[in-house]
Amino acid sequence: MQRLARRIIRGAKSRVRRVIIRLADLVLPYLPVRVVLGIAILAQALRLPGQHTLLLHLISAMAARQKNKPHLPSLLQSKMWMPVASSHVLYALGRHQEAVKAIEELNPGARTSAMTLLMARALFELGEFERARALLTNSGGEEAFDFDPSTAHFRGLLELCAGSESDADMALRTATAGMPHLMAPHQNLAARDPFAYRPTRLDVAAGRDGRLFDAYNYLGQRVTHVGMGQLSTGLYSKAFEAQKRIQKSKPPVSSACASYLADLGISLSDVKVFASEWQTQIGHQGMLDIELRMRELGWWTGEPIVLVDYGRVANFAFLSLFEHRAKLLSVGGSVPREIARELSSLQRYRGMSFNAFEMPDGTVVQWSEAAALAIRLWDEEGRQPPLRVEFDRKFESSESLATTLDQARRSWGMTPDDWYVCLHLRDGAFYGEARGLGQSHRNSDVENYRAAVEYITGLGGWVIKLGAKDSPELPPMPRVIDYGRGTYKSGLMDIALIRGASFFIGTTSGLTNVAISFGVPAALVNCISTDAQLWHRQVRFAPKRIVLQNGCALSQTELTRSPWRWRQFDAAVLARHGATPIDNTSDEILETVKEVMALATGKANDYAASVEAASDLNSRWQESLSMPHFYGSAQISLYYLKKHQASLLSPMPRLN
């Protein structure tokens, strides 16, 4: 009865939250900034449902009108009549330094344990882990206040940062006892594990090492989020150590689960589990392709199974291409749900890490670094892209796909002989991102692509723009199709269009991984990422420049090494360090497209000859990388390299 009552209350709150957000979307963009801030503070003070999501919407509502307006912190500091609420608003808006300062300035009576915890969380976001840990204990080392499960989990993470596994596990035990969903085996936040999780016998049997495995994987991601990714490889190594200790005992699977694996012809010792994080985003499905290529290169052994949860799959058509390289097990379909739950819990014993990779010599590296090396070796050996071969085998004779493609092309005005290019821009619509926070710095302005689009159409080609239904529209242009907003959009059409494209224009986002898996030539622009890139040899790219307050741009050496490599993950982290990402200009995008057009048509040497001193510049660029395979087999745009050689090839890195 209590569970039903809680469910009803949660449902009511959710409905209220949705109504508030809809009203916010309609009203907030038209209100003065000061009024919007007042609403945010009042919503926090009254603890309205959806207050945190509301705050994120406020950022977007205010961002376009911040020029020539008082700075946000000064506006909030003027709200002295609600200092506690203002501190919460600052934290929610990603203004963690100002939030810490605001809490420090509170009257002693207002410095409750809740505010101390908020300050500790803000310090974590600033990468000040030891200071955050100290806040949760007094000078004698005893707990300053009672820990609820969420706070205990946070405390456990801070203890792991400090290297104290015993203290961490005490806190993690408290956390998992009160929040059972924390016992879901954790590899990556992309798995979107449900809050209502029922632990399995394998979860319980994993014990202390299971908790450490999950926490180290989670913490490795979180430190990356706050710009301290240089710590993540060590944390993932600790997760591997915990997994190896778990593997010393036989997994206590049920007889039904053991029989199911036996019927598949897989022994318990050979199974390798790939769970939801490998399929919830289409880019992650592309990562699964590279992970399986690593197996084909001899880097790991075992029988891969992919647990297909139909509520979490980004693109079913693309995932279906793996059916001859791994066993795709449909949860609730080909595999009963209870057995699927056991197989998911088996990740701690037999799961493949989504975050890091242990190389054949025992060295643990970031997963992306291993993948970048794998794609480079794959290219050097002249191997074919497995998913392109599989797509052609599976869909080349599909009458239904051929009919849909023919109908779409005719409706767009294309003839059967017309060639086309696929274009994808990253924007905030798909993830509902607020400008200035999270991954919003990876987005770009569609207008800068106009010259490249006109170049393609001027040669007689077409441009088909991919993307979400609500992605920004391209300006009306002849021979340009806004497919993402049209009636023919589907998962299969997405990948079929990429497979048939003469080349692909994209960025550091998921659909690029589809083009890579199919071996399609690619012009990648407005690139920015902490990760090494799994790009093949027919990729040319132009990164976003990152410019500091003194007007200097970061060099290629700095972009691929600590600390600046890791500061690129989050827009707010870059801003905190006085760095601004600059979108590629129209000419940079155009020339990158021209170079890939030359690659795709066999005229790469002609293009290279047109860029003077290209060979020498490219050699210097290669030498400046933190590792030769940081960008896989790809090369930087020759035009971009020549244009920015003074800053890009600067030999002296800034260490702060």
CB 559 within 8 A of CB 568: yes
Instruction: Give one DSSP letter per residue of 279-298, joined into a string.
Output: TSSHHHHHHHHHHHHHHHTT
Domain end among 59, 91, 111: 111
Please check the confidence at residue 113 and state whether its pLDDT lies above 70.
yes
Q: Is 404 in the same domain as 376?
A: no
Distance CA 577, CA 415 (A): 52
Q: Is 513 in the same domain as 411?
A: yes
Q: Is 503 in the same domain as 362?
A: no
For residue 116, the tally of other CB atoms under 10 A from its CB is 15
Q: Is 259 in the same domain as 344?
A: yes
| Any domain includes 253 | yes
Please check the confidence at residue 238 and state whether its pLDDT lies above 80.
yes
Mean pLDDT of 348-360: 95
Please check the confidence at residue 79 and state whether its pLDDT lies above 80.
no
- Least confident segment among 64-68, 96-100, 192-196, 507-511: 64-68
Q: Is 437 in the same domain as 372?
A: no
Please check the confidence at residue 231 and state whether its pLDDT lies above 70.
yes
| Any domain includes 412 | yes
Please check the confidence at residue 616 and state whether its pLDDT lies above 90.
no
- 631: CATH: 3.40.50.2000
389-403 pLDDT tens trace = 999 999 988 999 999
Mapped onto helix, strand or coil, the DSSP state of residue 431 is: coil
| Any domain includes 259 | yes
Q: Is 467 in the same domain as 609?
A: yes
Mean pLDDT of 188-215: 90
Return left, alpha or beta for 403; rule: phi > 0 is left, psi -120 to 50 is alpha, else beta. Answer: alpha
What percent of the residues of the chain are helix, what percent strand, and what percent coil, each to the nearest 5? 55, 10, 35
The rounded mean pLDDT for the chain is: 86
Q: How many domains does the chain have?
A: 3
At residue 110, the pLDDT reads 75
264-305 pLDDT tens trace = 999 999 999 999 999 999 999 999 999 999 999 999 999 999
| Any domain includes 345 | yes
Q: Is 340 in the same domain as 415?
A: no
Residues 6+ away with beta carbon under 8 Å from 423? 449, 453, 463, 464, 465, 466, 504, 505, 506
30-76 pLDDT tens trace = 666 566 666 666 665 555 555 555 555 555 444 444 433 444 555 45
515-538 pLDDT tens trace = 999 999 999 999 999 999 999 999
| Any domain includes 140 | no
Question: What does the buried/exposed string (b/e) look like for 133-156 if buried means 16 or more CB atoms within 10 Å of the residue's CB?
Answer: bbbbeeeeeeebeebebebbbbbb
- Partners of 582 in the β-ladder: 545
* pTM beyond 0.95, yes or no: no
Q: Is 103 in the same domain as 248?
A: no
Smallest Cα–Cα separation from 466: which of 527, 422, 502, 519? Answer: 422
Q: Is 499 in the same domain as 638?
A: yes
Residue 53, burial from CB neighbour count under 10 angstroms (0-12, 13-18, 19+): middle
Please give the residue that has the higher pLDDT: either 355 or 50: 355
| Any domain includes 209 | no
Distance CA 260, CA 386 (A): 28
Please check the confidence at residue 653 and state whether its pLDDT lies above 70.
no
Please check the confidence at residue 591 and state whether its pLDDT lies above 80.
yes
Sign of CA dihedral 617, 632, 574, 581: positive
Long-range contacts of 247-250 (CB under 8 A, 24+ apart): 247/349, 247/350, 249/205
Domain end among 356, 380, 404: 380
At residue 67, the pLDDT reads 38
At residue 503, the pLDDT reads 97
Q: Is 405 in the same domain as 369?
A: no
Q: Is 528 in the same domain as 394?
A: yes
Distance CA 344, CA 279 (A): 14
| Any domain includes 461 | yes
Tell me which residue range forms the domain holding 490.
Answer: 386-648
Domain end among 380, 414, 441: 380
| Any domain includes 614 | yes
Smallest Cα–Cα separation from 369: which of 532, 530, 529, 556? Answer: 532
Q: Is 314 in the same domain as 396?
A: no
- Least confident segment among 73-87, 106-120, 229-243: 73-87
E strand map for 441-585: 462-465, 480-481, 504-506, 522-527, 539-543, 545-548, 579-582
